[in-house]
Amino acid sequence: MNLQRKSAMRAIVQDAYGSPSVLQLKDIDTPAIGTHDVLIRVHAASLHMGDWHMMTGLPYMLRVVVPDLGLRGPKVRVRGMDVAGTVEAVGAGVTQFQVGDDVFGTCQGAFAEYASAPQDNLALKPANLTFEQAAAIPTSAFAALQALRDAGGLKAGQHVLIVGASGGVGTFAVQIAKALGAEVTGVCSTSKVELVRSIGADHVIDYTQHDFAQGGQRYDLVLDVGGNRSLADLRHALRPGGTLVLAGGEGGGRWIGSTDRWIQALAVAPFVADKLRPLATKPNQADLQVISQLVEAGQVRPVVDRSYPLSEVPEAIRYLKNGQARGKVVVAV
């Protein structure tokens, strides 16, 4: 059974790869929903670097391995993956939500007035969050949680270094690591030291003043979100047999991007005592509920840098790409 709203909606549409100028605000049909889907009246969405990759189609390798990307142009026209809003309609097989519920999660086409999402991609919005705060959570918090808990195997009492602690993933990682009982050191620039300290970091390293790779401190787990340091530098900060999780990076060229470091890590891993683990994030409802519980318990709070209206999504993506954001960039719809 497909349900289709007949009215039009405004959405950020992309018909070709390129710079933010390829993103256009247009009137299009509201999305259809299937049997197990939910139609969301979008109140807010958030950005992460995946949106930039989807917009540019870079690195080229993504056009082969990501289903929503085509070789010459995107298969899904509306950008945006992280969403928060109110349930407008439900498919006949939906059992978890009803019309009027406030929800958040992941979807295709969040930069729009309405979006369709499978019910298993959503959870009820924490009551203590605004829609903009809730929209800031999904993809970045998934990455932080899965990097620390799953790839990193973080245990209470361990010492963790988070490189890139002031960004979207990093701000969640600092708080989740503290919730898991770790002693946390964050790495960031001078202007963001107080932010990282305010969200719970036990120690903060200003990388413009000190090089964590040259200091004497060693860590049980190093989570690299920044993606700007060599594998050798990151390993130098590990205690013998420690774990390095590679969760970010925008370098590596137009063909394979940051996966060059992943390939290097996988090649080196069999010959060293350190555990070197690239991260592949998997959005899922169970983890969304785990994060929601941490938020409701006051252990995690989304850090929102700034908000843009739907019409200014291109400018929001430009701002995100320049790397200066403190926490998350969101879109109010």
Per residue in 217-236, pLDDT (tens digit) is: 999 999 999 878 888 999 99
215-238 CB burial, b ≥16 within 10 A, e <16? eeeebbbbbbbbbebebebbbbbb
Distance (Å, rounded) from C-alpha 13 to C-alpha 20? 11
Secondary structure (3-state) at 52: helix
Closest C-alpha among 225, 184, 286, 291 to residue 48? 225
Q: Are residues 159 and 270 in the same domain?
A: yes
Residue 161 included in any domain: yes
Q: Are residues 207 and 308 in the same domain?
A: no
Note the residue count of the chain.
Answer: 333
Q: Are residues 64 and 145 in the same domain?
A: no
Q: Which residues pair with 243 in a beta bridge?
A: 221, 275
Residues 67-86: tens digit of each pLDDT:
777 667 788 899 999 999 99
Q: Are residues 144 and 116 in the same domain?
A: no
Q: Are residues 146 and 118 in the same domain?
A: no
Q: How many domains does the chain have?
A: 2
Residue 295 included in any domain: no
Q: Are residues 152 and 245 in the same domain?
A: yes
CATH code of 231's domain: 3.40.50.720
Task: Specify whether the CB–CB gap between 174 and 162 falls below 8 A.
Answer: yes
Q: Are residues 128 and 145 in the same domain?
A: no
Residue 293 included in any domain: no
pLDDT at 260: 63
Q: E-strand spans in the chain?
A: 3-4, 8-14, 23-29, 32-33, 37-46, 82-90, 102-106, 114-118, 122-124, 159-163, 183-188, 203-206, 219-224, 238-246, 275-278, 304-309, 328-332
What crossing angle do the helices spanning 49-56 and 313-321 adopt, rounded to 10°? Answer: 110
Residue 64 included in any domain: yes
pLDDT at 255: 45
Residue 45 included in any domain: yes
Q: Are residues 97 and 131 in the same domain?
A: yes
Q: Which positions ≥6 away from 325 have C-beta within 8 Å? A: 167, 168, 305, 306, 319
Residue 82 included in any domain: yes
Residue 291 included in any domain: no
Q: Are residues 219 and 106 in the same domain?
A: no
Ordered mean pLDDT values, 10 residues apiece, the chain (333 residues): 65 94 96 97 95 79 67 85 98 98 97 98 97 98 98 98 96 98 97 98 97 93 90 94 85 55 68 82 94 97 98 97 92 97
Closest C-alpha among 330, 326, 320, 264 to residue 56? 320
Secondary structure (3-state) at 54: helix
pLDDT at 228: 80
- Percent helix, percent strand, percent coil in the chain, to nearest 5: 30, 30, 40
Task: Specify whether the CB–CB gap between 88 and 39 falls below 8 A.
Answer: yes
Q: Are residues 106 and 118 in the same domain?
A: yes
Residue 159 included in any domain: yes
Q: Are residues 96 and 107 in the same domain?
A: yes
Q: Which range marks the domain in which residue 181 is found?
A: 139-278
Q: Which residues pair with 163 in a beta bridge?
A: 187, 224
CATH code of 58's domain: 3.90.180.10
pLDDT at 215: 85
pLDDT at 59: 58
pLDDT at 91: 97
Q: Are residues 262 and 309 in the same domain?
A: no
